[in-house]
Structure 1
Amino acid sequence: MKWIRRTALLCAAVLAIGGCGGAGGDDGGGGSSDSKKVTIEFWNIATNEPLKSVFANAIRDFQAKHPNIEIKNVAIENDAFKSKLTTTMQSGKAPDIFHTWGGGVLKQQADAGLVKDVTEDIASWPQKFTNAAIAPYQFDGKTYAVPHDIGMVGIWYNKALFKKAGIEQPPATWSEFIEAVKKLKAAGITPIALAGKAKWPGHYYWSYLAMRIGGLDALKQAAETKDFTDPAFIEAGRKLKELVDLEPFQKGFLGAAYDTADGQAATMGNGKAAMELMGQWAPSVQSSAGKGIGDDLGFFPFPAVEGGKGTNTEALGGGGGFAVGAEAPPEALEFLKFLTEETEHRKAVESGGVLPVLQGEEDAVKDPNLAEVAKHLAATTGFQLYLDQAFPPAVGQEVNDSVAELIAGTETPEGVAKAITETAKSE
């Protein structure tokens, strides 16, 4: 990607005059001392409860034990975070600690020398991460971030609204899903909440449909050949258009954000829509942005497509981890170690904000909705990282943009496949 090449050149120039520094620490990468306070910038997306308080409490407890280390908590809303991090990386810098979804985005940052290889550092840590949780952050036998959450995208639904529309059980196939949408509309209920402005929530539909139709092998092959014109991807677009043509989304969805008071999560959390396709964080954001629907909330995996090569036991998902800027002081790793130690991480799991990433941590899941996600996750027969993170940044952005245009009615299924392919081949 062009900004990666520019970043590498910029870092080389900066190194010649004194280092391509991190956004935080002020001691030039040296160790901490009692006489000199070190400031660590911690960039995260925990702007909603419960993680907002979980991180605040963790920072307080860490600083009490390390009075010479100040953790500057930089919490940024999801979409704004992505934009700000890209701008920062383009300048040749990286925050001391920052949220990452791993995949192709993190790999390019690693290839540009902007993030620290933490393989040896975490080898001595007492906590042990599960293979599934840490895999998105590992490339060529090296680890570039540590996990804090893992999960899968699925359909969250309002049981009371389903009952009102006469839907007796969650749809297991795409035909049943389409029929459920029609029943909800006939009952005067908005079937689906969608953040059209944010774009990334819409890509989940196209990604899952491609998985269900072509199987995981179709995605693997496309990643290798950089060709997304396989019939499975075009058919995914057609199936999505079939859904869009039913006008299933809330009024004004094209201008809706995800976690604002009038966005997707609030629409679902206030009982104004029957479904949303979202990750494991959905219940907490529904309750934070809206009121939450309590016991009426349920979860089911994305439906299978009749005749497709994929199954509904294959999941699209990932989690959230934390990477360390290449020039961050050692104290950054000290805080990251603290944040992911079993005693501390259990607090995050018990809060309902994240799912287990450590071996033997499963019993800490208290929320029944998250337990349901964990059950489905444990039964998965295949796993695919979010496509806007699995591929290089430009390709992931094109997936989001093209699918958003399809949903808005300004692009065709064939056009989506062509645009993603052209972007992939230009990388």
Structure 2
Amino acid sequence: MKRSLVLIAAAVLVAGCGGAGGSAQQEGTGGSPGQVTLEWWHLSTAEPLKSLWDQRAKEFMAQNPNVTIKATVLENDAYKAKLTTITQSGQAPDLFATWGGGVLAQQIQAGLVKDISSDVADVLPNFTPAALSAYQFDGKTYGLPTDIGVVGFWYNKKLFEQAGITEPPATWSAFLEDVRKLKAAGVTPIALAGKEKWPGHYYWAYLAMRIAGLDALRQAAVDHDFNKPDFVAAGQQLKALADLQPFQKGFLGAGYGTPDGQAATMGNGQAAMELMGQWAPATQADAGEGLGEDLGFFPFPAVEGGKGSIGDAFGGGGGLAVGADAPPQAVEFVKYMTAMENHSKAVEAGGVLPVLKGEENAVKDPNLKQVATMLAGATGYQLYLDQAYPPAVGQQVNDSVAELIAGTKTPEEVTQDITEVAKSEG
């Protein structure tokens, strides 16, 4: 029986790697090390990270002529599917993207991830505790963070003004009223990538946090029971939003970073809001035109009468984990990627938020500074549910919430379906 997994406090974004295990290191003539190939998969398909991560790999290879890094860059869903296929076959990439939490814990339990505690002991004090927490289990370290942040609402100030909205909503009822105002003004309120499912789960997760509270979500990870009134209420509030038909035309078939997807719809000024993580501005600019000074950010609203605090944040980031059979150079590359002189360049470029102590001043973008401030003052933190829980449970959350948004599942059916999978996994 798999051990119960409590929800992890924080997580981090990603650059990962692929291949079905490390290349064997061979000794060349004269005792010099032979050539080593590291397969690296990562999710950074948008600028600035795509180019920055490529540059880091080239620099590392230049400093280590016997190492070849082969990078495979995949978007979110393709990455998850490919990693799942490999790990289910009993193998793991040399370097791979991870959000930590229950998914990483399951990979560790399967013996697929290297314990890098002793290898990184010299650099661990450089990281903030929140950034590290999603990659540490039972006092051991299984990855290093490259990003941390929170999910919140990114909004178009010009479209809000057009609808007569003078300030972002602080409560859920005010949010729903603003959705009505936007629709009345002929503005599409929300961009959503319905095809990819994970962006939709943010709504149910945040509503569950605001209504039931963080402790209830943590308890559900232990007792595998989501059939509770507050979780049903979260679904009812999401249904109330969906019933307003707030999303762009064709949202059920829309991707996230595609030319006609969620980020482009937002970046091209065709929707007023999107609920997304700290990478949203960069992806909006990459997939669309970008909003520049018209882009604003506000936290997910409080739900009147709810047990959760508006100061509780939901999100994650990403990190780098090393396959159990990877050669030593894989760990060295992880340390290289997260060294201050290298990682701070990604922070300055607006690609990631600080994970190292003292990086705060490198944040230049005013919206990302607001996210960093929100993160620093968070009263509680919840990792993405599709990463906090074991993979099958997280996938069921995504699937069931997508069906709720599409109108094919009731709030009660959502909690029942998640509970059934949670109990079977528990």
Please indicate, yes or no, whether the TM-score normalized by the shorter chain is above 0.5. Answer: yes
* Distance in structure 1 (CA, Å) of the matches to 2:404 and 2:359: 41
Residue pair 1:33, 1:68 contacting (<8 A) in 2 also: no
CA contact (8 A) 1:22 1:326 kept: no
Which position in structure 2 is the counterpart of 1:26? 23
Contact preservation (8 Å) 1:161, 1:189: yes
Change (3 A) 1:159 1:337: same
Whichever residue aligns with residue 348 of structure 1, its letter is A
Amino acid at match of 1:150: I
Partner of 1:100: 98
Is 1:223 the counterpart of 2:221 in the alignment? Answer: yes
Is the alpha carbon distance of 1:83 and 1:34 closer, same or farther for their aligned partners in structure 2, counting shifts above 3 Å?
farther
Following TM superposition, by how much is the alpha carbon of 1:25 offset from its aligned partner in structure 2, in angstroms? 3.6
Corresponding residue for 2:7? none
Report the equivalent of 2:14.
none
Q: Report the equivalent of 1:167.
A: 165
User: 1:101–1:136: 8 Å Cα contact kept in structure 2?
Assistant: yes
How much has 1:124 moved relative to structure 2? Answer: 1.8
Deviation sequence 1:57-113 (CA, Å, 0-9, x none): 111111111111111111111110000000111111111000000000000000000
Match of 1:326 in 2: 324
Residues 11-48 of structure 1, C-alpha deviations (whole Å, 9 max, x = no match): xxxxxxxxxx9635422598999855111111110111
- Give the letter aligned to residue 179 of structure 2: V
Q: Name the amino acid aligned to 1:98.
A: F
Which runs of 5 or more residues in structure 1 are unaligned?
A: 6-20
SS in 2 for 1:52: helix
Q: CA deviation at 1:53?
A: 0.7
**Which amino acid is 2:300 matched to?**
F
Query: 1:381-422 CA distances to partner (integer Å, 9 max, x unpaired)?
Result: 000000010000000000000000000000000000000000
**SS across alignment from 1:291:** coil
Shift, 1:293, TM fit: 0.7
**Identity fraction in percent:** 67
Would the aligned equivalents of 2:21 and 2:323 in 1 still touch at CA under 8 Å? no
Contact 2:19–2:40 under 8 Å retained in 1: no
What secondary structure, in the 3-state scheme, does the structure 2 residue paired with 1:195 have? Answer: coil
CA distance in 2, matches of 1:51, 1:33: 39
Which residue of structure 2 aligns with residue 273 of structure 1? Answer: 271
1:57 matched to which residue of 2?
55
Partner of 1:48 in structure 2?
Answer: 46
Indicate the SS of the match to 1:123: coil
Distance in 2, matches of 1:29 and 1:198, equals: 42
Deviates more, 1:398-407 or 1:120-129: 120-129
TM-score under structure 2 length normalisation: 0.93
Distance in 2 between residues matched to 1:64 and 1:246, nearest whole Å: 55
- Whether the aligned pair in 1 keeps the contact of 2:22 and 2:323 (CA below 8 Å) is no
In the aligned structure 1, how far is the partner of 2:63 from the partner of 2:383? 37
Secondary structure (helix, strand or coil) at the match of 2:134 reads helix
1:127–1:34 distance in 2 versus 1, CA, 3 Å: farther
Q: Number of residues paired by the alignment?
A: 409
| Cα distance in 2, alignment partners of residues 152 and 82 from structure 1 | 20
Code of the residue aligned with 1:195 in structure 2: it is: A
The unaligned stretches of length 5 or more in structure 2 are 3-17
- Where 2:316 maps in the other structure, the secondary structure is strand
Tell me the SS of whatever aligns to 1:121.
coil
Cross-structure match for 2:120: 122
Partner amino acid for 1:110? Answer: I
- Match for residue 299 of structure 1? 297
State the Cα RMSD in Å.
1.8
TM-score of the superposition, structure 1-length normalised? 0.93
| Aligned position for 1:158 | 156
